[in-house]
Structure 1
Amino acid sequence: MITFTVSAFVTFLTIIDPVGLAPVIIGLTAHLNDIQRNNIITRAIVISAIIIAFFALVGRVLLDRLGVSLYAFNIAGGVLLFLVAVDMLFGRSSGTRETKAEEEEAMTREDISVFPLAIPMIAGPGTIATTILYVNLATASGNPLSLLAVGAAIISALFAAWLVMRSSQWIIHLIGRTGILVLSRILGILLAALAIQFVLNGILEFIQVSKLGK
């Protein structure tokens, strides 16, 4: 249970990548004072929590309605997370988080808490896929505590992200932009490994289902 909780926490914190968001937050809120910046960050985290909770509750229902099997979603979610990891490793701006057009539009917005911070930077496709993946894993385990573990991991990751983003200026001053890039690459390696594990889990489940069907 502890291993599962830690794995979920690390995955959520890595996919959110609050340290990597630090320069973006500073750039988008350069015209605001510290109080305004912190208020925007807090709103973004709250909105993200609501979005994540929504998909945690209805994600499985959506998959069932669409006729998508769990192993197919495991594979698709793993591939999506792997693409995010590759972008982190090579220091590219991930299209799964925001496009160039979205970034340019955000520069003209007064309140960026909903867009682009909450969506797609914090609660983007990668985070949503991770949420559904872990909720499915917890449900399949048959242990009610597993769902509580996922909830605790999500809350802890969002709280950690909130703390890190509020400290964006201090982090940039402490480790610099080069340090942030190095840390993002390290997290990218970890996320790539987790993504491959999701794909392998999906493939193994597909093989098991195929054998049972024969």
Structure 2
Amino acid sequence: MLELTASRWVADFLFGFGALFAIINPYGLAFIFLDRTISLSEAERARVALRVAAYAFAVLLVSLFLGSQILNIFGVTIPALRIAGGLVVAAAGWSMLHATPTSASAHAAASADVATIQRMAFFPLTIPLTTGPGTIATAIAIGISRSDSLDGMFASSIVSLVVALAVTVTIYHAYRKSSAMARLFGQEGTSVVTKLSAFLLLCIGVQIIITGTSEVARSILEGASHAVR
């Protein structure tokens, strides 16, 4: 019985971690994070990365444990969350995709100072770039699937907490090592990867909008069919 319970916990962890890791894609976003913090030193970037990771951990916890209740209180549906967040993500990707290429020194001189970037740690670096509407919706779905029994709910809560912590650690590691990965790829390679990441970010935003719009259209059609009946 104990082995069965442990295997269930491991399966739940792998499912939750795999789903959130795939949606967030922290190592892909690391180049976007680096582009937004290019003017910072390594130590300053590490502090911003830690702050973003802490905010992401809070967002994941709230989404996992209170997400559905909060949306119900404000009357916000998952499709509305997807559409609004998708617009922000797509706009960020479009802006980065059409940004004028500059050298690292020129970019650093024109970039925002440390205080300004730290204020950007929650928005837009955490929401919606890191833990966007897709991540929030997935975390809410994982939270809703928890068992209703007291023992099952406790075990699922522990697993959810570990999942959130593990995902947060990967976010911090990816962002903390973003400059090292850039050095590995070189200036030209980093520019290419950044543009590709921006294009993928634009595509992700459009896909989130399409998904949310499709859900709204489906609910309208279902409501119309029920009215006809």
| TM-score, length-scaled by structure 2 | 0.61
Q: Which letter maps to 2:136?
A: I
Aligned residues: 191
* C-alpha separation in 2, matches of 1:55 and 1:3: 16
Match in the other structure for 2:187: 177
Match in the other structure for 2:88: 80
Q: How big is each residue's C-alpha offset from its partner over 1:116-148, in whole Å with a ceiling of 9 and x where there is no partner?
A: 4642354223424333222345467x5878xx6
Are 1:11 and 2:11 an aligned pair?
no
Q: Which letter maps to 1:182?
A: V
Query: CA 1:197–1:125 in 2, change beyond 3 Å: closer, same or farther?
Result: closer
Q: How big is each residue's C-alpha offset from its partner over 1:104-127, in whole Å with a ceiling of 9 and x where there is no partner?
A: 3x4358xx7xx2464235422342
The alpha carbon displacement at 1:66 in A equals 1.9
Q: Which letter maps to 1:174?
A: L
Q: Which letter maps to 1:19?
A: F
Match for residue 107 of structure 1 among 111, 114, 117 = 114
Secondary structure at 1:27's aligned position in 2?
coil
* C-alpha separation in 2, matches of 1:91 and 1:7: 31
* C-alpha separation in 1, matches of 2:86 and 2:17: 18
5+ residue gaps, structure 2: 1-11, 101-110, 148-155
The alpha carbon displacement at 1:178 in A equals 3.1
Please, what is the CA RMSD of the aligned residues? 3.9
* C-alpha separation in 2, matches of 1:52 and 1:3: 15
Q: Which letter maps to 1:124?
A: I
The alpha carbon displacement at 1:64 in A equals 1.6
Aligned positions of 1:163-174 closer than 5 A: 163-174=173-184
Query: CA 1:202–1:51 in 2, change beyond 3 Å: closer, same or farther?
Result: closer
5+ residue gaps, structure 1: 93-102
Secondary structure at 1:28's aligned position in 2?
coil
* C-alpha separation in 2, matches of 1:125 and 1:21: 12
Query: CA 1:136–1:163 in 2, change beyond 3 Å: closer, same or farther?
Result: closer
Contact 1:79 1:195 in 2 (8 A): yes
Aligned positions of 1:65-144 closer than 5 A: 65-91=73-99, 104=112, 106-107=113-114, 115-116=118-119, 118-120=121-123, 122-126=125-129, 127-138=131-142
The alpha carbon displacement at 1:86 in A equals 1.8
Match in the other structure for 1:22: 34
Contact 2:64 2:140 in 1 (8 A): no
| TM-score, length-scaled by structure 1 | 0.64
The alpha carbon displacement at 1:155 in A equals 4.8
Contact 1:16 1:121 in 2 (8 A): no
Identity percentage of aligned residues? 18
